[in-house]
Amino acid sequence: MPRISSHHAKQTAPTSSMETLIENDESKPEPEEEESGKATTEAEPDLSSSDIADNNQNLKPYKKPPRKFDWLLEKQPWANWREKAKIGSDLKDDGDCFFRHGDITNALKKYHKAFLYLRGAEVDKSQIYEYNAPIIMHPNGGSTIVKNPELENLRATVSECANNIASCLLIKENPDYDRILIRIDQALKFNSENWKALYNKGFILYQQKNFEGAMWLLKKASRKPESNAEPNVKKYLNLSLEELKGKELSLDKALETLFLPLLK
């Protein structure tokens, strides 16, 4: 491994005692100054990747600094996902603020980061028991699972965040509908009743001339009372119905033209 070479003593001609005293008095540098002065005159070592790996083996392991929530994590096992959910929810609120002010680029960045936090906070399989507790047993038989309302709200927030990403991508010029549909399907996976995601998917299917699929999704979205605030839901629902009626009329006319001569 290349290393900085050590300093060798220089051999000089013998001098008188007076000259030696003068030299020693004038050239007595501080230890640190001598080291730094000589180091600058030498070439910087060219370390290879293997040399760097050897150096890394000698480093002490990095210890993560303690967080203020560590004591809470020990007392409450759910505090970890609650902390992630809080960060993700705050980032989503920031994204909403940017979106309302027309800053789509920064809104998209916030929504992406929020989705990662919220997705990481989602319940895993090892926590399914607490997620489904408590279970109410009925006297006449059967049972009802009462799900954790906090986790239900978390899934709804994840769905909203994924749909907000899709909404930002839809606003951009020449949107990639296939890519946006992936985000909308994520939103509907976490909350199949998200009417905004239903509308966005119905709108895309209408643009792709899948009028039957668009009609089904837009009709489902229109049943939600909240959708009354968005007039485009009924607008594209009616347009889809008109396109389907036009196709039916065209089909009937084609069949009539094909089979009418045979009936005569």
pLDDT, tens digit, 9 for 90 and up, residues 78-104: 447 778 888 889 999 999 999 999 999
The pair of three-digit structure tokens given for residue 183, joined into one six-digit string = 């985000």
Q: What gap in Å lies between CA 28 and CA 30, rounded to an integer?
A: 7
Do 202 and 214 form a contact (C-beta atoms < 8 A)?
Answer: yes
pLDDT tens digits along 2-12: 433 344 444 44
Q: What is the mean pLDDT of the chain?
A: 71
Question: Is the confidence at residue 166, as pLDDT, over 80?
Answer: yes
Residue 81: per-residue pLDDT: 76
Question: What is the pLDDT averaged over residues 241-256?
Answer: 69
- At 113-157, the pLDDT tens digits run 999 888 877 654 445 445 555 566 677 777 666 677 778 888 899
HSE (CB half, 13 Å, CA atoms) of 207? Answer: 14
pLDDT score of 65 more than 50: no
- What's residue 244's pLDDT? 87
pLDDT for residue 34: 45
Instruction: Report residue 69 as tokens.
Output: 């929530």
Asked whether residue 70 carries a pLDDT value surpassing 80, the answer given is no
Does position 195 have pLDDT exceeding 50, yes or no?
A: yes
Confidence band, pLDDT 50/70/90 cuts, at residue 55: very low
